[in-house]
Structure formats: structure tokens, C-alpha cells
Chain A
């Protein structure tokens, strides 16, 4: 097992280098410190809380607590089951990988046994599952300690239940994929997964149909000890229910079942995967790309969101100079959706808004839901503007090279977004106002608010992006800047808007005042953005 020793040594070295990096920059420990502090706080609160509340639980509410607990366990188990089946189905389409591209380049061509490498990496994948489970425990430990007197063994079985559930998904998916590539039996595998899924669904649904109340029937069955016999999901549930039942023999039995299954699956994987290097290439490459994008090494491109890159277009003419930027955005947008000015998702959001407006006619439907929806859209377009500063034209060299003024380039960059926003807002608000007989002022103020929100988001991200150097300057000053603008620009607007709404009891007046405030902030940010744009530089990632 030369390979295991080799890889273990490499991973220990990587761990050592990681620790050194942390020591060089202890600020990296802050999130971990916060998580630990949160856990300790919640745990101590939970423990002290449980002393006071245990009497109440013992008296009258035992039955109710059981039903609530049963429902929670039922919902979680059904979700876990659905996720498990979904993962199996995905395995018939795309493989998972335990590797990195550095392994592909440096390790795969080396004189090592592929089976041993796979064995090591599969075993190692226990750690991320364990880490995730521990994180869950930290997150929920306080609450569990409060409600269920979570002790040491309870915590151990809880963590193991989660860990094995996620851990076993990887080798199972790997096995399904390699069976497909080895024997070309994709249809058979899909059919098998479908039958398993259907069987599971029936096992869950039939008790619901037989019960008085459908959901209660399902949850009662799923939460019952008999369901624990269902492989994987049931075993995990059975193992984790130690902190409720206190039966360590039962929990240990499920753990043993898991271990036996794991070794069987691994044995099958090793037997059938053979020379699996090609099977993992695509998944490894796409993981690496995702990681590099997340780290910022690789640019997040508009292609990421592209829906139809092969669409044939009738290309329009818009003119010369900076208008080329508008033309490019138009073409890009045409490829992304069925129409450059209207997207399928935005049409969906329009539809939803109009449905809310239509339902406002009925007494049982609160028209405030429509207003909340409008506020959500204002926030949504703020985020869209925020994201716009990090993708697209500003990341391309031609934005700097095109011989035109900075202001014309900037306007052409956002022109299509503004047009789309305006059209979206009008298509949503005009029919809604007439349908639900809302105040006509919404037709004026809502589109304006949407455009201002977009511009604020854009400016808020663009200014530090260009104006501040990469690194700590940006990391530290950007939140301060956003905080400052929120505190002195957005919050006062919001406050006055709420005040006007409270006084007049009319949403439209609150919105009008808020939009005026947003307009002032947007104007200011726009002014700074145009000024700072000259400092834009192209960075090849």
C-alpha cells in the first residue's frame, strides 16, 4: 500500500501548510472562533434553559411535543429520502470525483495502482462528511441540548448518522456511474433507480392514504421505529434516535450495518471501476473550475448563466464606438433568453406579481402581499446591480480599449439593463394597477424605484471594485462603505418611507418618498462611479 502512505504524507503536508498559513494570518480564525462562541453560548443557554423548562415539558405537553417531534422527524426523513434518490439519479448522468486536477496531472500518470488511490480518497471523503455533521451539531447543539438532554453518546450517534448518510452517497454514485461506463447499461440503471424511487415513494405514501390525515399518516409511519429498517435513510434515523430512545444497542447495530454496506460498496467499486481515470476527468475539471471561480482565480463569466449558446441570431445594427458595448450585451442577452428585452425568469416574476394583484380582489388574500412582493423586487434588482459590477464588460479589455468617452461606455454598458428593468417594471405594474385598482402613482414610482435600486447596487460594488486595491483594502473598506451608505443614505430613505406610510396608511406615498431618497443616493453613486471609471484596469485572471 505504497500509495496510501504516499497520499497520507502529502495530505499531512498540506494540513501542515494550512496551519502555517493560519498562524501567519490569525484573522482566518475569526469565523471559527465565532462559530465556537456561538456553540458555547447556545449550549450554555440550552443547558441552563433545560433546567427551568423540564418541569413544563413533563406535565401536560408531552403528547403535543411528541406530535411536533414526530412531524419534524418525518419531514426531515422524507427530505433525506428524496435527496438520496435524487443523488442516485444524478449518478446516472454525471460522476462525482474525489480528486483534484493536480492528482490528474501528477498522480494519475505515475506508477501507482489506481485502485489504491481510489480506496484512499474514498476513505478520506469521510472527513468532509464528518466536518459537515460536526458543523450541524455545533449549529443545532444548543437547541438539542435544551430540548433533548443531548449527552456525549447522543452527540456521537447524531454526528455518525449524518456523516454516514452523506459519506455513503459518494461511493454509491461512483459505483452507479462506473457500472454505466463499464457495461453501457445506462437505461437499466435508470430503470433500477426509478423502481427503487417508486418503491420508496409507495412505502411512504400508502400509510398516508390509509390514515385519517394524509401528512400525519406519512409522518407517523416515517417516524416510527419500523422505518429505521429502510436502508441508508432509515439506518441514519435509527442511529440518531439514540438521543430520544437511549438504546445504544440498536444505534450500534445500525452503525454496524452501515460499515458492512460501506465495505461492500467499496469492494464493488474497486471491482467494477477498473481503470477509472477517464470517468472522473470531467467531474474533476468542472469541480476545479468551480473552485477557481469561487476563489476568484477564474473569471465568473456571463456564459455561466447562458441558456442557449448555439442560438442563431439576426444581428441588429446600433451604431459605432461605445454602442458596440450595447450591441454585445444585446447579443449576449438574445442568447440567454427567448428575447433580449424579456427573459423567461422575469416573465415568470411578472406573472407572479399579476397573480398577486388579481388575488387582491378576494377578501381572503391580503393585498399587502403584493406590496411585499414589490419591495422584494426592489431588493432583487439592487442585488442584480451589485452583481453586474463583477461580471461582463468591466472585466473585458475592450471596455478600456474602445475609443470612446468613459461616460458613453458606461451608459452603453448599463443601457440594456436599464431598458430591461424599465420594461419589466411597466409590464408588471400597469396591468396590476388596473386589475387590482391600486393607486396610479405606483406606475410612476415603482419603475423609478427599480432603476434606482439597480443603480445603487451597481455603484455600491463598482466603486470599491475599481477605486480600492485588491486585498485587505478592499476587504476592510468595502463593508465600511456599504455600511456608511446604508446608514446615511438607504436607512433614512427607508425610515421616512415607513413614516409616511404610517401617517398616510397608503403604500404609494411611502414608496414615493422612499424612491425620492433612493434617487438621491443613486445620483450620488452614479456621479462617483463615472468619476472613478477612469481608474479601471484590466486584470488577467
Chain B
């Protein structure tokens, strides 16, 4: 089977400390997968290794068949980081233009306007990055990631700092992207935000995946699975962390 993302025996060490240990998983095209785990479980490190911000200590990562560091792979994915940094002296519109140029998107203006409208940034197009609140920077970051219309999206805690309306928009966006056949990996603490749309959940603890299945199957696997919510299940599986 052709996977959109294949991670094989991924390990990441900081000095002697192993943050991620022999991690292996795959994402099929069109799949939405939630990456859950307590603080320090290694979720962000895993995601940063995949997108190439951190150097993997060992293992293999392939995106759409390409090595994850190749330009070919990078054309396929976008990454929304946990802390949104933007250029202080570029306007919101100029950020969109910059991303369009970087990803080689030719007809970008209509899509950029649609995205800015969706996130209620259309009337703030001329605002400079330095004048944006954290929530607005997060919205810009999401719009920038969606502009190239990537096949695979990595969201690292995407709802932190967003207002309720933007959170709802993001959840709706996940649904829309899923309907469009996009592959999504979401690392999040907001379990209820992912429960409704995730095809599969991966639960990480101490750098390893301790659960990787559909929500229903994970509930069955847990000893007291009947009647558990995803939150209960998550707490049950990570209780010693």
C-alpha cells in the first residue's frame, strides 16, 4: 500500500536523553490522525523531525515516497507550528504572497482571499506582522499553511491561542480538508476537538507510541473500555506519565 507518510524506527536523542524512541507508524492518504500525549511525551519532537526542523538520530521518514528532507516531499506538506512567528515587517497579504512564491503557487490571490475571509483577516490584510496578537498570528500561520493546498498537513497544537470562533472554524476546516482527501496529523491537548474527526488516534508516552488505532478499538483494548470517553481513555493509558 502507498502511504502518504511512513515513519520507520524514528529515534531522536538530545545528548544522552532519548526524546523519541524507535517510533514507527504510517498515514494513509486522506486519513486524519490525532497525536495525543502528556507534556514531554515527544509529540512536538516527532512532528519537528518529520518536517525537518530537527535532525533525526536514526530511522527513516518518507513523505509521498520521497525522503522527508527533499524538495519533492516539501511540496506535498505544510506545517503549522505551536508558536506562530511571523515577519514583523510584512503585512498579512505580503505573507500570503511570500508563501505563494516559496511554494511556487501561481494563481493564489483568490484562494488567499478565501482563507483570510474564513479566518476574518480579510479586513486586516495591510496589518504588519508586528501589530498582530498571538491569536491573529496563529490564524496567519494557518492561512499560510493552507495556501499551497498541500496533500499532507501537520498541525502542532493548532487551537492554542485561538478564540472560540476560530477554534470552530479550524474544526470545520479539518472536516472540509478530510472531505477533500487531505491527510492530516494533529498533535493536540484539546481531545474533544479531534474526537469527532480523527480516523485514528496515536497516544504517545515517553517517546513511544502506546496506542495506535481507531477510537473504538482503543476503547476495546483498554481494560475498562466500556463507556469510556476518549479523554478517560487517554488518562487511563497515560496515567503513569
Q: Which residues of A contact B (CB under 8 A)?
A: 2, 6, 9-10, 13-14, 17-18, 21, 100-102, 104-113, 275, 277-278, 281, 288
Say yes or no for B118: interface residue by CB 8 A criterion: no
Chain B residues whose CB sits within 8 angstroms of the CB of A108 once the complex forms: 52-53
Q: Is the CB of B54 within 8 A of A107?
A: no
Given contacts A14-B89, A105-B81, A106-B85, 11 further A-B contacts (CB under 8 A): A6-B98, A9-B101, A100-B85, A106-B87, A106-B144, A108-B53, A109-B53, A109-B79, A111-B102, A112-B102, A277-B54
Say yes or no for B99: interface residue by CB 8 A criterion: yes
Given contacts A14-B90, A105-B141, A106-B144, are A111 and B101 in contact (CB under 8 A)?
no
Q: A364 CA to B37 CA in the complex, in Å? A: 71
Given contacts A14-B90, A102-B86, are A278 and B102 in contact (CB under 8 A)?
no
Chain B residues whose CB sits within 8 angstroms of the CB of A104 once the complex forms: 53, 81, 85
Contact of A275 among B52, B78, B83, B104 (CB under 8 A): B52
Contact of B85 among A6, A17, A102, A112 (CB under 8 A): A102
Q: Is the CB of B78 within 8 A of A109?
A: yes
Q: Which residues of B contact A (CB under 8 A)?
A: 51-55, 69, 71-72, 74-75, 77-79, 81, 83-91, 94-95, 98-99, 101-104, 128-129, 141, 144
Q: Is the CB of B77 within 8 A of A109?
A: yes
Q: Is the CB of A10 within 8 A of B87?
A: yes
A392 CB, min distance to chain B CBs, angstroms = 23
Q: A132 CA to B91 CA in the complex, in Å? A: 28
Q: A107 CA to B81 CA in the complex, in Å? A: 12
Q: A10 CA to B94 CA in the complex, in Å? A: 8
Q: A107 CA to B85 CA in the complex, in Å? A: 11
A111 CB, min distance to chain B CBs, angstroms = 4
B101 CB, min distance to chain A CBs, angstroms = 5
Report the nearest A residue to B140, measured CB to CB. A106
Report the nearest A residue to B86, measured CB to CB. A102
Contact of A278 among B54, B72, B84 (CB under 8 A): B54
Q: A14 CA to B89 CA in the complex, in Å? A: 5
Report the nearest B residue to A15, measured CB to CB. B89
Chain B residues whose CB sits within 8 angstroms of the CB of A107 once the complex forms: 102
CB pairs A–B below 8 angstroms (12 shown)? A13-B90, A14-B90, A17-B94, A18-B89, A102-B88, A102-B129, A105-B86, A106-B141, A108-B52, A109-B53, A111-B72, A111-B75
Chain A residues whose CB sits within 8 angstroms of the CB of B90 once the complex forms: 10, 13-14, 17
Given contacts A6-B102, A100-B85, A278-B53, are A106 and B95 in contact (CB under 8 A)?
yes
B203 CB, min distance to chain A CBs, angstroms = 25
Q: Is the CB of B85 within 8 A of A109?
A: no
Q: Is the CB of A100 within 8 A of B87?
A: yes
Q: Is the CB of B103 within 8 A of A105?
A: no
Q: Is the CB of A102 within 8 A of B87?
A: yes
Q: A278 CA to B90 CA in the complex, in Å? A: 25
B4 CB, min distance to chain A CBs, angstroms = 16
Point out which of B81, B87, B103, B104 has the most chain A C-beta atoms below 10 A from its C-beta: B87
Chain B residues whose CB sits within 8 angstroms of the CB of A111 once the complex forms: 71-72, 74-75, 102-104
Q: Is the CB of B86 within 8 A of A106?
A: yes
Q: Is the CB of B74 within 8 A of A110?
A: yes
Q: Which 5 residue pairs are nearest across A and B when measured between Cβ atoms?
A: A101-B85, A111-B74, A110-B102, A109-B79, A14-B89
Q: A275 CA to B88 CA in the complex, in Å? A: 26
Q: A110 CA to B103 CA in the complex, in Å? A: 6
Q: Is the CB of B74 within 8 A of A13?
A: no
Chain B residues whose CB sits within 8 angstroms of the CB of A100 once the complex forms: 85, 87
Given contacts A17-B91, A105-B81, are A112 and B98 in contact (CB under 8 A)?
no
Q: A18 CA to B104 CA in the complex, in Å? A: 26
Chain B residues whose CB sits within 8 angstroms of the CB of A102 once the complex forms: 85-88, 129
Chain B residues whose CB sits within 8 angstroms of the CB of A278 once the complex forms: 53-55
Q: Is the CB of A105 within 8 A of B85?
A: yes
Q: Is the CB of A113 within 8 A of B71?
A: yes
Q: Is the CB of A281 within 8 A of B54?
A: yes
Report the nearest A residue to B99, measured CB to CB. A106
